Amino acid sequence: MSPTTTPRTLLSTALGIALLAFMLFPVYWMVNVSLQGGSTAASSTFFPTDITLDGYRTAIQDQTGNLLTSIVVALGAVVVSLAVATPAAYALSRFRLRGMGIFLFALLLAQMIPGIVIANSLYTLFNDLGLLNSYPGLILANATHGIPFAILIMSAFMRSIPPALTEAARVDGASHFRAFWSIIVPVSKNSLITAGLFCFLFAWSDFMFGLTLTTGADIKPVTLGIYDYLQGNVQSWGPVMATAVLSSVPAIVLLVLAQRYIAAGAMGGAVK
Amino acid sequence: MTTTLAAGPRGAAAPPSSPPPTRRRARRRELTAQWLFLVPAIAYVLIFFGYPIVKNLVMGFQDYSVRTFVTGEAPWVGLANYAEVVSSGIFRTTVVNTALFTLGSIAGQFVIGLLFALFFKRRFPLNNVLRSLLLLPWLLPMIAGSAVWRWILDQDGGILNETLQGIGLIDDPIRWLTSPDIALVAVILVNVWVGIPFNMTLLYSGLQNIPDELYEAGALDGATGWKAFWYITWPNLRSVVNVVLVLGVIYTLKVLDIILGLTGGGPANATQTLATDSYRRSFQEFSFGTGAAVSNVLIVVSLVFAVVYLRANRRAEEE
């Protein structure tokens, strides 16, 4: 049911577009400057009149390895997060076990622990285990961004699945795992996608663990690639903005293609 | 972990009317099967959330430095780290900055987020599309946002100063990120930009949950416009407002990327917060002991707000 179009509603639409344009100006600016290539620290023009891909050429030269690292780490974090979170969400939604309330409470608190606290301790732990500057280390650490969120959002969904669905299978002799794997997981597909998307975005955007748990140039996420540019006096903003655009592609693509999952996750993030 | 796990079987050990052994065994097997679903998550939470908190508390009492990584020794120093942190001149600055950064960010995000939410409560074409595109600043990697803002706020070539000068609002360029008096304001501004979508989304969903009948009944009594907001919207939104505000505080206390990307904590520590100071001590000076002490202060502050959050959230659910 789309709202009726009257001059009044059209005025609201116009105002809404203006608000959006204002809020997204920095994103426009990022794209705009990225297309002005080598423009030195002199000011950028308002529109990219002389479009050049020099900025992207430099960015790809500098950052391809880092982008690949980010992809591997983010996908790894999604796999680890869902593997850990989905069964737990099922248990929380179905079983009544002692101590589950405490676990739920711990999950809520876990979401609130400042990342620097975790980084401080993980650095020393990973140093002992030889996990600094490694993919497994980054993947495991980045799963912290998503696991509590994924458990909470998926168990909220699974609670809405009628128990009769699994009970029938259980009566027929299916194990809990079977009921979980062949009934709950397919039925919960949408909430798994939402959780997975956010785990990906959280890990992809991670800065804290990339900053603290990697020290060399070999394994470095693209967020740290951007940070490296910002460390010194930036001489040329084209490549920096081109890298920023490349690092923003997943968020933009997912927001456009997977809008309803993103909207579901954004709501579920806090009001459970 | 073992104690938690043991709670399951033990809980089943003494059922009211002791059933025959086979049934008891079946019951135990059932409980074990149920717990297995939770084992990976419990293990993960213990290692990646539980251990760091304990380790951090312990490190706060140790001389944990570069030498520790070589010799493996971290001598116990009691409260020396805390004494050093509190007596250092920077501590006062970081506490004040953290408070200002948090208050300023929350105030800006909340007020603008609420205005946006109220605006999008109207029904008009493209409402949904525009509202979800507004999430973008929140979904982008924060460091990418910091990068573009760093260029927008640049003193000499930045578009903000150029625009302000162009329309004659200012004569000389403002040193947004390099003046100790202004840098914190600039950092807050950027954090507000990042936080608006989150505030708007939660407040919007709160507004959607207020039944239309309330407004219809209110309108009959003459409550429209401002009055409707004050007597109907605000009281009904209060519980969501509490949740949004407390979550905002908790998330703002954590912020690191925006500050490191924009100012690196400078100029002259003008934007150094507890979080960035903990990072600086641990990872730039390799004084993990004092870094842990600072982040323990951060844990305590966060936990206080976390408890407030959980209570606010419970109230929100009860209503």
Confidence check: pLDDT of B250 > 60? yes
Please indicate if any CB of chain B lies within 8 Å of the CB of A253: no
CB of B317 closer than 8 Å to CB of A271: no
CB of A88 closer than 8 Å to CB of B37: yes
Confidence check: pLDDT of A25 > 90? yes
In SS3 terms, A197-226 reads as: HHHHHHHHHCCHHHHHHCCCCCCCCHHHHH
pLDDT category of residue A111 using cuts at 50, 70 and 90: confident
Q: At which residue do the structure tokens 């912290």 appear?
A: A144
Kindly list the structural domains of chain B, giving each domain's residue range(s) and its CATH number in brackets, ordered by start.
Answer: 2-59 (no CATH), 87-318 (1.10.3720.10)
- List alpha helices for A95-188, DSSP H: 100-110, 115-129, 135-158, 164-171, 176-179, 185-187
What is the widest separation between alpha-carbon atoms in chain B? 90
Nearest to A248 among B127, B140, B156 (CB): B140
CB of A245 closer than 8 Å to CB of B122: no
CB of A151 closer than 8 Å to CB of A107: yes
What's the length of chain A? Answer: 272
Q: Which residue of A has its CA nearest to B205?
A: A267
What is the DSSP code (8-state) at residue B46?
Answer: I
CB of B162 closer than 8 Å to CB of B103: no
Nearest to B201 among A29, A201, A266 (CB): A266
* Tokens describing residue B72: 């493996």
Q: Which residues of A touch B247 (CB under 8 A)?
A: 270
pLDDT tens digits along A50-67: 788 888 999 999 999 999
Residue A173: half-sphere exposure toward Cβ, Cα within 13 Å = 0
In sequence order, the 6+-apart residues with CB closer than 8 A to the CB of B222 are none
Measuring CA to CA, how many Å separate B319 from each of A33, B206, B228, B313?
Answer: 49, 12, 20, 10
Nearest to A30 by CA among A246, A253, A182: A246
pLDDT category of residue B14 using cuts at 50, 70 and 90: very low
Chain-chain contact of B41 with A15 (C-beta, under 8 angstroms): no
At residue B247, the pLDDT reads: 87
The region of weakest confidence among A133-137, A218-222, B239-243 is B239-243
User: What whole-number distance in Å separates Cα of residue A84 and Cα of residue B120?
Assistant: 37
Q: Which residues of B touch A46 (CB under 8 A)?
A: 159
Other beta carbons within 10 angstroms of residue B89's beta carbon come to 7
At residue B4, the pLDDT reads: 37
β partners of residue A40: A236
Q: Which residues of B touch A203 (CB under 8 A)?
A: none
Nearest to B243 among A180, A248, A270 (CB): A270
Nearest to A117 among B53, B123, B257 (CB): B53
Please indicate if any CB of chain B lies within 8 Å of the CB of A14: no
Taking the CA atoms of chain A, what radius of gyration do you get in angstroms?
23
Distance from CA of B140 to the nearest CA of A (A): 6
At residue A5, the pLDDT reads: 78
Confidence check: pLDDT of A23 > 70? yes
At residue B313, the pLDDT reads: 74
Nearest to B94 by CA among B249, B288, B258, B295: B295
User: What whole-number distance in Å separates Cα of residue B39 and Cα of residue B52?
Assistant: 19
The ipTM value here is: 0.90
At residue B6, the pLDDT reads: 36
Kindly list the structural domains of chain A, giving each domain's residue range(s) and its CATH number in brackets, ordered by start.
Answer: 54-268 (1.10.3720.10)
β partners of residue A141: none
Nearest to A212 by CA among B45, B296, B291: B291
Please indicate if any CB of chain A lies within 8 Å of the CB of B61: no
Nearest to A265 by CA among A144, A150, A93, A106: A150
User: What whole-number distance in Å separates Cα of residue A99 and Cα of residue B36?
Assistant: 14
A–B interface: beta-carbon pairs under 8 A: 321
The region of weakest confidence among A117-131, B3-17, B44-58, B199-213 is B3-17
How far is C-alpha B175 from the chain's CA centre?
28
Confidence check: pLDDT of A203 > 60? yes
Name the average pLDDT for chain B: 88
- List alpha helices for B122-182, DSSP H: 127-133, 136-139, 142-152, 159-166
pLDDT tens digits along B95-134: 999 999 999 999 999 999 999 999 999 889 998 899 989 9
In SS3 terms, B195-239 reads as: HHHHHHHHHHHHHHCCCHHHHHHHHHCCCCHHHHHHHHHHHHHHH
pLDDT tens digits along B185-239: 999 999 999 999 999 999 998 999 899 889 989 888 888 888 889 999 999 998 8
User: What whole-number distance in Å separates Cα of residue B153 and Cα of residue B162?
Assistant: 10
At residue A219, the pLDDT reads: 93
Chain-chain contact of B49 with A106 (C-beta, under 8 angstroms): yes
Taking the CA atoms of chain B, what radius of gyration do you get in angstroms?
26
Chain-chain contact of A20 with B133 (C-beta, under 8 angstroms): yes
User: What whole-number distance in Å separates Cα of residue B263 and Cα of residue A12?
Assistant: 38
The CA angle B34-B40-A129, to the nearest 5 degrees, is: 155
Q: Which residue has the higher pLDDT, A261 or B187?
A: B187
How far is C-alpha A16 from the chain's CA centre?
26
Chain-chain contact of A251 with B141 (C-beta, under 8 angstroms): yes
CB of B138 closer than 8 Å to CB of B194: yes
At residue B104, the pLDDT reads: 97
Please provide the distance, in angstroms rounded to a whole number, between the alpha carbons at the two ends of chain A: 27
